Amino acid sequence: MPRRPDPAQQERRRDAIVEAAATLFAEKGYEATTAADIGRAAGLSGPSVFYYFEDKATVFRALFERDVPRLRAVLERESAGDDPVDALLTIVRDLAADVNDPIAPGLVAELVRRAPHDPALAQVVMDADARTQRVLTALVERAVDVGRARPGLPAAVVARWIQIVVDGVALHGGESSDDPWPALRTLVLRFLRAEEKP
C-alpha cells in the first residue's frame, strides 16, 4: 500500500523552498536562479521543487502570497482600533518591518521586474495594495473627523503618499543599518498634520 504524503512535511518542504528561493532571487536575480539552485539550497533535488510548485514563477509568487493573510489580519485589527493615527502608525510600522532585512531590496527590485510579465503576481500585489489603500484612506478620514489630524489633501492622496514612502523605504532599506521607523513616523505625522500624543 503506497504511503500517504505527510501534510506537515509537505508544508515544511514548501517553506524551505520559498525561504531558499527568497535568498537566491534577491542575490542572483530571478532569471539567473534555477530550480536546481533552489532545490540545492533547500536541501532537495532540483526536480523535486516542481513536485511542490508548478514552476519557478509560482515559487516567486509564493514569496508574496504568504504575507497576504498576515497583512489582512493587521489591516482588519487596526481598522477597528480606537485611535486612527495610532492605527495608521502601526500599519506603517508593520509594512516597513522587513526593510532592514538584507534581502528585502533585492526581492523588491525583482518584484518590480517580474510583475509586468506575470499577471497572477501583479494581481497579488494590486489586491494587497488596494486593500491597504482602502484601510489607510478610511483611517486618514477618521483621523480628520475626530480631530486627530488637520484637513488638507484628500484622504486618498495622503494614504497613497504614505504607501509610496513605505515602498521607497522597502526598496532602499537594506542600504542602511539605520532604523527607518523614527523617520517614517515623523513623515506620516507630517502628512496628516497630526500632533504627537503626549
Give tens-digit pLDDT for 121-153.
Answer: 999 999 999 999 999 999 999 999 999 888 888
Residue 174 pLDDT exceeds 60? no
Alpha helix segments (H runs only) across the chain:
7-28, 35-42, 49-52, 56-65, 68-79, 84-95, 104-114, 119-145, 155-172, 181-192
What's the pTM value of the predicted model, to 2 decimals?
0.85
What is the band of 50 on the pLDDT scale with cuts at 50, 70, 90? very high
Please give the pLDDT value at position 167. 86
Burial class (CB in 10 A: 0-12, 13-18, 19+), 84: buried
Q: Which domains does the chain show, CATH number per domain?
A: 7-56 (1.10.10.60), 67-192 (1.10.357.10)
Confidence label for 176 from pLDDT (cuts 50, 70 and 90): low
Radius of gyration of the chain (CA): 20
Residue 15: how many CB atoms within 10 A of its CB?
14
pLDDT, residue 156, reads: 94
Lowest-pLDDT range, 13-22, 37-46, 157-166, 174-183? 174-183
